[in-house]
Amino acid sequence: MKTKLNSFVVANAAKCIGCKSCEVACFTVHNRNNHVAATVGTVTVPIIPRLYLIRSEHGTIPIQCRHCEDAPCANVCPVGAIKQEGNAIIINEKTCIGCKTCLLACPFGAIDLLPQYDDGKEVLQINLKEEEEGGLTQKARVIAYKCDLCEDIGEPACIKACPVNALTLVTPTEERKARNKEAALSLIKTING
């Protein structure tokens, strides 16, 4: 039985310059329904990327989903909103209830819970209200966000947007073939002296 492993994006911390081009590209691709284009003046909602640039004393690097084969986030989701689709682990935003269980289960810290926007407006919950000055108001709908390998456009936008090529799409099958070839060539060189 042949198993196809999930692809994922990996970052080279030595190359990353912390410019956040990856975050902006991710946000733009995932907010077309909010009328966001890659030009000044079109952003009317908060920038919510599905990868997060982390800065430390050692440098900067984007943190994003590794599309685990035995995805802990999917295993703990009480409503089955996180599933395997193609070669990626995907969150069904319509099904997600914002319970935060996946956020706690992710070993990479790649999931965030943030307000949902549609057509440029914050999506509100139907019945749940919160107390604010002046009374009760409808509470914003909060859902889980994470990298989906830009399934809608066929390739991760972050990779294309990186000006220093710090991001790479790892396809495990191709990676294994390349490493096997490299090992075989090294062995041949060793044998031939």
7 vs 31: which has the higher pLDDT: 7
Q: Is residue 181 part of a domain?
A: yes
- Residue 186 is predicted with a pLDDT of 81
Checking if the pLDDT of 19 tops 50, the result is yes
Q: Is residue 153 part of a domain?
A: yes
- Residue 1 is predicted with a pLDDT of 46
101: which residues sit within 8 A by CB, 6+ positions away? Answer: 76, 77, 78
Position of tokens 């002046």?
134
Q: Is residue 3 part of a domain?
A: no
- Residue 191 is predicted with a pLDDT of 86
C-alpha neighbours within 13 Å on the C-beta side of residue 37: 4
> Is residue 36 exposed (0-12), middle (13-18) or buried (19+ Cβ within 10 Å)?
buried
Beta strand spans in 47-119 (E): 52-56, 59-63, 82-85, 88-91, 112-115, 117-118
Q: Residue 115 forms beta bridges with which residues?
A: 142
82: which residues sit within 8 A by CB, 6+ positions away? Answer: 71, 73, 74, 89, 90, 91, 92, 102, 144
Q: Is residue 33 part of a domain?
A: yes
Predicted TM-score (pTM) of this structure? 0.81
The number of domains in the chain is 1
* Predicted confidence (pLDDT) per residue in 65-121, tens digit: 999 999 999 999 999 999 999 889 999 999 999 999 999 999 999 999 999 988 888
Q: Is residue 113 part of a domain?
A: yes
Q: Is residue 173 part of a domain?
A: yes
Enclosing domain of residue 107: 8-192
Mean pLDDT of 164-168: 95
Q: Is residue 2 part of a domain?
A: no
In the 3-class helix/strand/coil scheme, how is 26-43 assigned residue by residue?
HHHHCCHHHCCCCCCCCC
* Predicted confidence (pLDDT) per residue in 144-162, tens digit: 999 999 988 889 999 999 9
DSSP letter for each residue of 11-29: E-TTT-----HHHHHHHHH
Q: Is residue 1 part of a domain?
A: no
34: pLDDT confidence band, cut at 50, 70 and 90?
low
